[in-house]
Amino acid sequence: MSKSTTALLFMLAAALFVFSVKAQERDDSRLKPAERNRSGTLRQLIPGYYVFSSTSFNSGVIATSEGVVVLDALSSEAIAGQERETIASVIKQPVRFLVSSTFHNNYTWGNVAYQDVVKIGHEDYRTDLLAQMQRDHASPEEQKARLPQVTYRDRLTIHLGGKEIQVLYLGKGHTRSDSIIFVPQDRIAYVSELFFSDQFLYINDGYGVSWLKTLDAVEALPADIIVPGHGPIPEDPRETRRGLHRFHQMLVDLRDAVQKEIARGATEDQAAAAIKLPQYEQMQGYKSQREVAVRRTYREMMGTLK
């Protein structure tokens, strides 16, 4: 990131800081005991690093002495508001940056609850989020409230409270513009929907072969903990690496099966009928995504994926 972009980013952050503090004060006062019993929960993984989970969706929360960075705003204004109230109550620091990984509605409808926060995403994330909102006939106000003010292409670094918080684009995967967050000094990464923990991959807008290469890059990060965007996080968060490797193996199995079908001259329809991946059939998402996964991977290998 250039110096001018860094300067712009921090001017934005400073300008929004006052509003942020006000929002947090209001949220604090609204957090009554009865309201604590709602669906989302904030869990600390290691000191300063949290995950806010609502059903099987996980949002990353990084706390510093100068404020908080959130990864993914989740599926509604209500749940995002609840996440912010919980952050205000537990961490007692304002949210300064929202990083968004995938443009899908179930991770970006909540962006509207972050109007006082600098929003960051990959440049293709911005393009695809805008196109999706136009398809959905979202109002101009909603579009403005959800779009990032800051975009990047390869990487961007947030320096906050003594932490070097890297926002990285490692290649296509769940979408063409997934962002991850990596904090080298604390050996932790948050990888959003690039990692479905103990679930079948969701690939309607994804790229099976590229996803595998991107996960190779994720596995090569010097991190002890790799936080999934979906699915459970083990009691010992260091076990996430093993879960990631199981997910990586699913992509290997998918790629190998499609490659074998292509090698024997199968058409896309024949490959979709033949490849069952039975070892994953008990997993959530298998029924709806197996065929999509085969078809998109087939097209990606044949160079016909749009």
CB of 104 or CB of 295, closer to Zn ion? 104
Give the nearer residue to Zn ion in terms of CB position, either 183 or 202: 202
Going by their DSSP bridges, the two strands 41-46 and 49-54 should be labelled as antiparallel
Instruction: Write down the least CB distance from residue 169 to Zn ion, Å.
Output: 16
Q: C-beta of 114: minimal distance to Zn ion in Å?
A: 18
C-beta of 116 vs 205, nearer to Zn ion: 205
Which CB atom, from 100 or from 240, has the smaller least distance to Zn ion?
A: 100
CB 197 within 8 Å of CB 230: yes
The residue range among 134-142, 185-193, 250-258, 273-281 that interacts with Zn ion, by the rule CB under 5 A, is: 185-193
Min. distance of Cβ 193 from Zn ion in angstroms? 5
Q: Lay out the site mask for Zn ion across 94-113 (x = CB under 5 A, - = otherwise).
A: --------x-x---------
Does 176 sit near Zn ion (CB under 5 A)?
no
Long-range contacts of range 39-48, CB-CB < 8 Å, 24 or more positions apart?
A: 39/79, 39/82, 40/74, 40/79, 40/82, 40/83, 40/86, 42/83, 42/86, 42/87, 42/90, 43/233, 45/188, 45/225, 45/227, 45/233, 45/237, 46/186, 46/188, 46/225, 46/237, 48/163, 48/186
Burial profile 10-28: b = 16 or more Cβ within 10 angstroms, e = fewer: eebbeebbeebeebbeebe
Contact flag: residue 193 with Zn ion (CB under 5 A): yes
**What is the contact mask toward Zn ion in residues 230 to 259, using x (rule: CB under 5 A)?**
------------------------------
Return residues touching Zn ion (CB under 5 A).
102, 104, 193
